[in-house]
Amino acid sequence: MKLGTARGPAVVAIAALVTSIAAGARAEDISTTPESVAAGTEVWASTDSDGSDVLKLLVRGLWRYDDREKYTGLAVEQVWFNPSVGADEQDQRIYLDAADKLGPEWRWRARIGTDGDTLVGSAEIRRADWAQSVFVEREIVETDQGLRRGIYYTFAGASADLGIDENNTLALSTGLQAFSGRNERLHFRARFVHAVRAVPGLSAHLDTRYYHSTHPGGFDYFSPRNFVRVVPLAQFRRFTGAGWMFLAAGGLGGQRNTGTEWSIARFGQLRAESPRNARAFDAFAEVIYTNDSLSGGTKYDYLMGRAGVTVRF
């Protein structure tokens, strides 16, 4: 199935989920039962300037659902890959989909399963306030060689927020990304965040990323020996009276990899989330634009959209 022809359904699917989110915002939260069953769906679509497209449709059934931080169930996913060169591919996946609380301070969640060939998915343990986390992710490389030759990566890392004062925070993260073959990529990221007190919800960020590949240039994914990206950006986040969260962020900076000159780095994000205390449903929608990706270089554009809704019964 070519995503050249699948883009229409992908857009319709995203629009349908966003419409469901809007409808959920008007629905009364009538459920008071701590535990219940739930079902949901998620859609994930991406496209880039090289001509690669990916569409993922996921359906989840949860036999235990308390809220977005406590649930247990299964998820089934259909994936369509349309790389810029080579044949289209499809994947079918099944996951254990679960999350729970570890006392008052910690949370965990995992979506771990198989595509029929190997383990795929992600897992995370974090503080309730997101100040620290440990995470792992395993996924296929979405390029022609990655799909044909079964090239996967496993990315494990940790992050921590260091409070400087009431208006300033330094967020640090590091990780190791191991690819099929010999390449291993060391990641370091630092983000300085300044809350603008004069405008509630507004913050200024300086986002710095660096990675080093031990065996660059392998296969057909973007893999320079060294890559650095520095992006100043502004973020605006507000909550409505009903508890809905809306976020917008964007910035321009610079990026460079081994053997090239500095070029413009761009980033943009829009996100909406349903109220955290809503028990009848949980919903989100997000769009991200960047010109930095696993498969692209510095002269590259990447657009991703995803949305999901889970309804409690």
pLDDT digits (tens, 9 = 90+) for 155-196: 999 999 999 999 999 999 999 999 999 999 999 999 999 999
CA dihedral of 190, 196, 197, 198, whole degrees rounded to 10 = 180
Write the burial class of residue 181 (CB in 10 Å: 0-12 exposed, 13-18 middle, 19+ buried): exposed
CB 162 within 8 Å of CB 132: no
**278 confidence band (pLDDT: 50, 70, 90):** confident
Average pLDDT over residues 286-307: 81
The DSSP line for 71-93 is EEEEEEEEEEEE-SSS--EEEEE
Average pLDDT over residues 56-82: 96
Residue 3 has pLDDT above 70, yes or no: no
Residue 8 has pLDDT above 50, yes or no: no
What is the pLDDT, as a whole number, of residue 79?
A: 98
What token pair was written down for 180? 């099929």
Task: Render pLDDT for 13-51 as a digit per residue (tens, 0 to 9).
Answer: 434 444 344 344 334 343 444 679 999 999 999 999 888
What is the pLDDT, as a whole number, of residue 55?
A: 98
Domains, the chain: 3-29+36-50+61-312 (2.40.160.40)
Residue with tokens 């349908």: 16
- In 196-244, DSSP assigns E strands to 202-213, 226-239
* Cα gap 70→282, rounded to integer Å: 12
**Window from 55-59, 83-87, 251-255, 269-273 with minimum mean pLDDT:** 83-87
Average pLDDT over residues 234-238: 97
**H-helix or E-strand spanning residue 14:** helix 3-26
* Cα gap 273→283, rounded to integer Å: 6
CB 80 within 8 Å of CB 92: no
What percent of the chain clears pLDDT 70, i.e. is strictly above it? 87
**222 confidence band (pLDDT: 50, 70, 90):** confident
**Window from 8-17, 113-122, 190-199 with minimum mean pLDDT:** 8-17
**267 confidence band (pLDDT: 50, 70, 90):** very high
Enumerate residues 6+ apart whose C-beta is below 8 A from 23.
none
* Cα gap 16→38, rounded to integer Å: 19
CA dihedral of 75, 124, 54, 272, whole degrees rounded to 10 = 90
Mean pLDDT over each residue of the chain, to the nearest integer: 88
Higher-confidence position of 136 and 50: 136
Average pLDDT over residues 240-255: 96
**298 confidence band (pLDDT: 50, 70, 90):** low
Residue 292 has pLDDT above 50, yes or no: yes
What token pair was written down for 93? 């996946």
